[in-house]
Amino acid sequence: MKLNAALPSLVATLLIVATQSAAGGGQQLTVGYYNAKKCGGVEPIVSDEVYRALAADRSKGAALIRLFFHDCWVKGCDGSVLLDASPRNPYPEKAAGSSIGLRGFDVIDRIKSRLESVYPGVVSCADILAFAARDATRYLSDGHIDYAVPSGRRDGVVSRAKDADDTLPGSTFSFADLKTNFAKKKFDAEELVVLSGAHAIGSAHYPSFRDRLAAPRGEIDARYQTALRNAARNRSRLVANNIRDESYAFKKDAGYPTAPVNGRRDYLNNTYYHNAIDNRVLFRSDWALRTDAFAFGKLKEYRDKPKEWDSDFAEAMVKLSKLPAEGKDFEIRKNCSAINNPSRY
Ligand code: HEM
Ligand SMILES: *[C@@H]1O[C@H](CO)[C@@H](O)[C@H](O)[C@H]1NC(C)=O
Ligand SMILES: *[C@@H]1O[C@H](CO)[C@@H](O)[C@H](O)[C@H]1NC(C)=O
Ligand SMILES: *[C@@H]1O[C@H](CO)[C@@H](O)[C@H](O)[C@H]1NC(C)=O
């Protein structure tokens, strides 16, 4: 073979190798995995279902992005966060304290049943979740944040509440706790700051911010704290992670401009960093990023450079999606809420 004929295929091979990365159980992840399997409809079907779900309820986008984080952080991206309790496994990840408020399972189930009818037994729930989080990110950012998702994951068969509680960061974590937690997954302090920006969207339940009602001066803007206390007193079930998305009454209590932003909640951009610098973020773990000089510098950088945050966030989401599944047994689940043979585990 002449060299100039061999070169293009060599370059192609090198490109494929460069976009592959290890998943658990010896799988390789590749961008376009389902296209190569002649199942080109997979990613379009996921996008279609995610867009329908978000058009009906925009808040489902935040739900899917968090679900993806919780899946990948706990023993890698293996769909284990999706499993329901069963007689042999009464306390799956869903039952963990750190799973408070997890939702969006209905969207995943709908995508799965549609994919099963077109490509039975082909698409893993872990891949569906990784695609769905990307599609939600694109939707909520009006296309400003977009990225290719490597796929070819398989589904795990183990899901334990204890693993979730031992692994996921808590809302009361200090900066040192957060840094250690992220370092265990080989994510650095910059990536911690980048990913925390996801708290520009979505909402939280009272137990997740209760401690902030009594936070000492300096740890929270005084008027924002007053608004939180009022919301708690008024028994608001949920508080928006982003003050931008709060009610008129809340903003008035907080001394935040009450003019509607643009009528849409959950717009994913760098507003988190404006709130952080203004000391109006919801969780203690959000506030904690101010307590470290390097992280504080990054908060200001991402406040001032919205496009840089968009692309760094996309990159960090891809890195999250590559956290390798840690189990030994894998399968392509037929139903994302249950393993294929519930009598085995
Ligand atoms: C840095 C450590 C983190 C901590 C301590 C943390 C903690 C929390 C807590 C306590 C909630 C509220 C749950 C509730 O009460 O309903 C929440 C919500 C949320 N988190 Fe995080 N989180 C962290 C990182 C992340 C990351 C890396 C992402 C995604 C990239 C993320 C995305 C979200 C989203 C989108 C919501 C809103 C969910 C919804 O509206 O259903 N978080 N987080
Ligand atoms: C809570 O109720 C008080 C008294 O009715 C009201 O002044 C305040 O605006 C409410 N705040 C929120 C956040 O609902
Ligand atoms: C973020 O999105 C909101 C809502 O669309 C918009 O008003 C705001 O200007 C954007 N950027 C920042 C930094 O807040
Ligand atoms: C999927 O599994 C769950 C059990 O966790 C069950 O409740 C549900 O009906 C199943 N869905 C389908 C479509 O079989």
Dump pLDDT digits (tens) for 72-105: 999 999 999 999 999 999 999 999 999 999 999 9
**Distances in whole angstroms, Cα of residue 116 to Cα of each of 76, 106, 120, 151, 251:** 24, 15, 4, 17, 45
Both 142 and 19 in a single domain?
Answer: yes
Q: What is the pLDDT of residues 270-281, one digit of tens each?
A: 999 999 999 999
User: Please, what is the end-to-end C-alpha distance for the chain in angstroms?
Assistant: 53
Is residue 317 a part of any domain in this protein? no
**Marked catalytic residue, from 70, 144, 205, 274:** 70
pLDDT mean over 185-192: 98
Query: Is the pLDDT score of 137 beyond 70?
Result: yes
Q: Is 70 a catalytic residue?
A: yes
pLDDT of 150 > 70? The answer is yes
For tokens 């002449």, the residue is: 2
Q: Give, for ligand 2, the residue of 235, 253, 282 to mutate: max count of ligand atoms closer than 8 Å to Cβ.
A: 253
By mean pLDDT, which of 106-120, 182-196, 254-268 is the weakest?
254-268
Establish whether residue 149 lines the binding site of ligand 2, counting it when its CB lies within 6 angstroms of any ligand atom. Answer: no
Query: Does the reported pTM lie above 0.85?
Result: yes
Helices (H), the chain: 3-19, 33-36, 42-56, 60-73, 105-118, 125-140, 161-167, 175-183, 189-196, 206-209, 222-233, 248-254, 271-277, 284-288, 293-304, 306-321
253 is in an annotated binding site: yes
Which residue has a Cα nearest atom 14 of ligand 2?
231
Residues 145, 221 within the same domain:
no
Is it the case that residue 140 has pLDDT exceeding 70? Answer: yes
Say yes or no: 96 and 201 in one domain: no
Whether 7 has a pLDDT exceeding 60, the answer reads no
**Predicted pLDDT at 18:** 37
Residues 160 and 231 both lie in one domain: no
- Taking CA atoms, 230 is separated from 194, 203, 253, in Å, by 30, 16, 8
Distance 199 CA to ligand 1 centre (A): 6
pLDDT in tens, 330-341: 999 999 999 999
Q: Is 207 annotated as a binding residue?
A: no
Q: Which two tokens stand for residue 102?
A: 């997890």
Q: How far is the CA of 332 from the centre of ligand 4 (A)?
A: 15
Contact 155, 78 (CB under 8 A): yes
Do the domain assignments include residue 111?
yes
Atom of ligand 3 nearest to the CA of 303: 13
Q: Render pLDDT for 248-257 as a digit per residue (tens, 0 to 9).
A: 999 999 999 9
The predicted structure's pLDDT at residue 26: 56
Same structural domain, 153 and 206: no
Residues 15 and 153 placed together within one structural domain of the fold: yes
The ligand 2 atom at the shortest distance from the C-alpha of residue 231 is 13
Which CATH number fits the domain that encloses residue 283? 1.10.420.10
Is the pLDDT assigned to residue 287 strictly greater than 80? yes
Domain contains 122:
yes
In a domain, 5, yes or no: no
The Cβ of residue 30 has, within 10 Å, a number of other Cβ atoms equal to: 17
Dist. CA 219–CA 215, nearest whole Å: 6
- 142: domain CATH number? 1.10.520.10
The model's confidence at residue 264, banded by pLDDT at 50, 70 and 90, is: confident
Domain that holds residue 137: 11-168+323-344
* Percentage above 70 pLDDT, the chain: 91
DSSP 82: G
My answer on whether 53 and 80 are in the same domain is yes
74 in a labelled binding site:
yes
Residues 164 and 15 in one domain: yes
Query: Which residues have CB under 6 Å of ligand 4?
Result: 84, 113, 335, 337-338
Compute, in angstroms, the gap from residue 230 CA to the centroid of ligand 1. Answer: 22
Residue 263 CB contacts under 8 Å (≥ 6 apart), including other chains = none
Q: What is the mean pLDDT of the segment spanning 289-309? A: 98
The finding on whether 274 has its CB within 6 A of some atom of ligand 3 is yes
Residue 338 and residue 286 in one domain: no
182 belongs to a structural domain:
no
146 is in an annotated binding site: no
Predicted local confidence at residue 67, as pLDDT: 98
> pLDDT tier at 3 (50, 70, 90 boundaries)?
very low
* pLDDT(224) > 60: yes
- Identify whether residues 86 and 151 lie together within a single domain: yes
Quick one: 139 and 18 in the same domain? yes
In a domain, 1, yes or no: no
Structural domains of the chain, count: 2
